[in-house]
Amino acid sequence: MRQPWLVTLGLLGAVSAQPEADVNLPSFELRRGERPITVQQTASDAEGGIAITRGGSECRQNENLSFFYAPDPKRIETKVGNTTIRSNAVLRTQPKEGGAEAQDRAVLDFFGGALELNEETGCPQNVERDKGQKVTILEGRTTVNGASLLYKNATGVGDMIGPVALERRASGDSPALTASSSHLSFNIDRDVQTLRGNVTVESEGRASEADVLELDEEAGFAILRGNPARSRDDEGEVAGQIIEYDLDTNDVVVRGEIEATFEIEVEGEDAAAPSFGGSDEALETDPDDESDLENESPDFED
């Protein structure tokens, strides 16, 4: 006899191509305070979509389980504010006890790959996790790809397993930018993405390395942190504990213990480019910019 899990069926027929999602297909909502997180199916039954809003009672011992799956080329689309997360599968778990407050401890598990529905138990089976970069975060001009993303509603932070690849497309005079790292965390309360581990950044002749990159897409601003963080272009290299990065102008400001080497044109074969170091004052790479540098560096840390 079939167990009393809830199976939400998609409508048969064509589904519009991504990025548009068919709102007539199944969805569920998770809330963090007043902020909704909406998980939307984009694949119909005929296309192999699975949408289980309440799995079998034995899927998890002390947790309720919901799971959505969309086979390639479809993706489950999760929206929070101006951010969209795309993945083949989303598993939602939360405590069976606790009533409405149980969602405060809900966890969303995003991954690429495949799974099947066990018709007898109402649980996922034959779960295959693709280790490629099949989970995508889209916000404004920025696209991030990684292997998986685990979001905990208790903290409002999602952790992406890498390798992580970030791309910010060009717009007008604002140049394109690419970055890579080992991991990424995404804070939905602050709309800040933080890349960690072997961070590299490249943009229109500028290359930078850091331990941590905190990116605010809406502000068009990033902070690189390291011991030290480094940034170089055709005119030279700067290094410091903190590098403030204007993503739209491609200019940087260095704070903390500062090191700098600049390429200058001098006469004589034995002439060497000067190197500066040891100052705690902010150093700006554009000597024509006389903007006020007295403000402290903004802090985006989780």
What pLDDT is recorded for position 6? 46
The dihedral over CA atoms of 95, 87, 176, 262, expressed in degrees to the nearest 10, equals 50
Beta strands 135-139; 236-246: pairing state:
unpaired
**Closest C-alpha among 75, 71, 12 to residue 44:** 12
Q: Is 104 helix (H, G, I), strand (E, B) or coil?
A: helix
**Closest C-alpha among 276, 281, 282, 226 to residue 252:** 282
pLDDT per position as a tens digit, 201-234: 999 999 999 999 999 998 999 999 999 999 999 8
Tell me the Ramachandran region of residue 99: left when phi exceeds 0, alpha when psi lies from -120 to 50, beta otherwise.
Answer: left
Answer whether residue 289 shows pLDDT above 60.
no
Domains with residue ranges and CATH for the chain: 6-129 (no CATH), 135-284 (2.60.450.10)
The dihedral over CA atoms of 71, 127, 104, 182, expressed in degrees to the nearest 10, equals -90
Cβ burial of 257 (10 Å; 0-12, 13-18, 19+) is: middle
What pLDDT is recorded for position 110? 98
> What percent of the chain stands above pLDDT 90?
65
- What backbone phi and psi angles, to 5 degrees, belong to 157? -125, 135
What pLDDT is recorded for position 206? 93
Which of 15-19, 97-101, 166-170, 242-246 comes out lowest in average pLDDT? Answer: 15-19
Q: pLDDT-based confidence at 265, cuts 50/70/90?
A: low
CA distance 54 to 91: 11
Answer whether residue 262 shows pLDDT above 80.
no
pTM of the model: 0.79
pLDDT per position as a tens digit, 13-68: 333 344 455 568 999 999 998 899 999 999 999 999 999 988 877 898 889 999 99
